[in-house]
Amino acid sequence: MASVELRNLRKTYDKKNWAVDDVSLTIPDGELLALLGPSGCGKSSTMRMIAGLEELTSGEIYFDGQLINRVPPQKRNVAMVFETYALYPTLTVYENLAFPLRSAGWAKQDITKRVDEIVDILGVQEFLTHKPRELSSGQSQLVGLGRALMRQPNVFVMDEPISHLDTRLRSRMRSYIKRLHLDLGYTMLYVTHDQEEAMALADRIAIMERGKIVQAGTPQEIFHDPINMYVGGFVGEPPMNFLACQAERQNDTLSLSYKGHAIPLPGDTAATRQDIPRDVVVGVRPFYIDSAPAPSDRHTIPADVFVVEAMGDSAVISVNAEDTRLQVVTESHTTIRSGDTVWLGIDPAYMLLFDQVTGARL
């Protein structure tokens, strides 16, 4: 296994746009890093450059401190799993697993030993004699994973490996991959556009936007401490609420309002922050807003209830506060109904402030 370091990695296909734009990132040995971002932001291009399947336009890639820019893909020993797993249709599962070792010229008894090892880890004993067409999509993907793992790789990269599976199978495969990582300790780069997958799986997440890494951090850091509105809005379901507000300073105390409705600030922010512009955006996750039937010191923002969605263990209330749609997560037995008027309160401890112009966290 190896650490991976990307230095100022760039890629252009058309000499006009940067598909990957100055990406620098270190993945320590044994870490599972998720590369997260919307379609087209440059995730696969980054991954393919690491695997050696794509030329770098500029920059450097190091495995364990060794520059590997000029090392051909087959010598990099990068295991890859893609969304479409290409198993050999005429070979059995066992033969599919043994194939990479046979092509590498392994001795027969070593092959048997290694295949048994991987079969054990994957738990695919029952269908070793099956052909790929006899497998479900989840089973095929397991075998695909297994085959990629046969030759103990330096680095294990996966590009949206479970995006095509149905929801239930996806969450099973997700915990499976996480466990695999814990058991094997490989350095893994996991590419996904699914924030929930990244949050659930990764030791660290690197969020990309238009070829650049916007923020890298643990799932907790990304979730609670986003550096801008893009990151804040990208992770979390239901997504973070954003409310365009005005900040005013009087007698050295900062106060905040949304269309004339005062919003209580955390005490230390009100007293000490000197750097807050007039136009700010309040970001707050739906879990950290609550509603009351009447106004109070805390519940200051009137809102009309648009719909209430019963989620079983909770309910999601969508409201219109003046002209902004917000979502509030509340307890499942709520008596609130469409058409009600409620008063919203934001938990000051979980309120984030952003610059309305740049979107940067304040």
With CB under 6 A, what is the number of residues at the site for ligand ADP?
10
Determine the residue type at 277.
P
CB atoms < 10 A from the CB of 219, how many? 18
Nearest approach in angstroms of CB 66 to Mg ion is 27
40 binds ligand ADP (CB under 6 A): yes
**CB closer to Mg ion, 61 vs 157:** 157
41 binds ligand ADP (CB under 6 A): yes
- When CB distances are held under 5 to 8 angstroms depending on the partner's kind, the choice from ligand ADP, Mg ion, none that residue 45 binds is ligand ADP
161 binds ligand ADP (CB under 6 A): no
**In the chain, where does DSSP find H-type helix?**
43-51, 73-76, 93-103, 108-122, 137-149, 167-184, 195-201, 219-224, 229-234, 267-272
**CB closer to ligand ADP, 38 vs 185:** 38
- When CB distances are held under 5 to 8 angstroms depending on the partner's kind, the choice from Mg ion, ligand ADP, none that residue 41 binds is ligand ADP
CB atoms < 10 A from the CB of 186, how many? 20
Of these, 2, 10, 21, 44, which contacts ligand ADP (CB under 6 A)? 44
Shortest CA distance to 23 belongs to which of 38, 35, 32, 40?
A: 35
Nearest approach in angstroms of CB 8 to ligand ADP is 17
The span of 44-52, 203-211, 266-274, 317-325 binding Mg ion (CB under 5 A) equals: 44-52
- When CB distances are held under 5 to 8 angstroms depending on the partner's kind, the choice from ligand ADP, Mg ion, none that residue 220 binds is none
- When CB distances are held under 5 to 8 angstroms depending on the partner's kind, the choice from Mg ion, ligand ADP, none that residue 153 binds is none
With b for 16 or more beta-carbon neighbours within 10 A and e for fewer, the 235-271 pattern comes to bbebebbbbebbbeeeeeebebebeebebbbeeebbe
Of these, 21, 45, 156, 241, which contacts ligand ADP (CB under 6 A)? 45
Nearest approach in angstroms of CB 12 to ligand ADP is 9
192 binds ligand ADP (CB under 6 A): no
The span of 43-51, 81-89, 140-148, 295-303 binding ligand ADP (CB under 6 A) equals: 43-51
Chain-centre distance for alpha carbon 298: 33
DSSP state of 127: G
**CB closer to Mg ion, 34 vs 321:** 34
Q: How far apart are the C-alpha atoms of 314 and 2, rounded to whole Å?
A: 43
195 binds ligand ADP (CB under 6 A): no
Nearest approach in angstroms of CB 202 to ligand ADP is 16
39 binds ligand ADP (CB under 6 A): yes
**In 77-136, where does DSSP find H-type helix?**
93-103, 108-122
**Residues in CB range of 236: below 8 A, 6 or more apart:** 195, 223, 285
Q: For residue 39, what are its two tokens?
A: 């379609």
- When CB distances are held under 5 to 8 angstroms depending on the partner's kind, the choice from Mg ion, ligand ADP, none that residue 80 binds is none
Rounded to 5°, angle at Cα 21 from 71 and 352: 130
Q: How far apart are the C-alpha atoms of 146 and 98, rounded to whole Å?
A: 10
Nearest approach in angstroms of CB 137 to ligand ADP is 21
Which residue(s) pair with 61 in the sheet?
6
**CB closer to Mg ion, 80 vs 303:** 80
Q: How far apart are the C-alpha atoms of 121 and 255, rounded to whole Å?
A: 57
**CB closer to ligand ADP, 27 vs 305:** 27
Site residues for Mg ion per CB under 5 A? 44
Site residues for ligand ADP per CB under 6 A? 13, 19, 37, 39-45
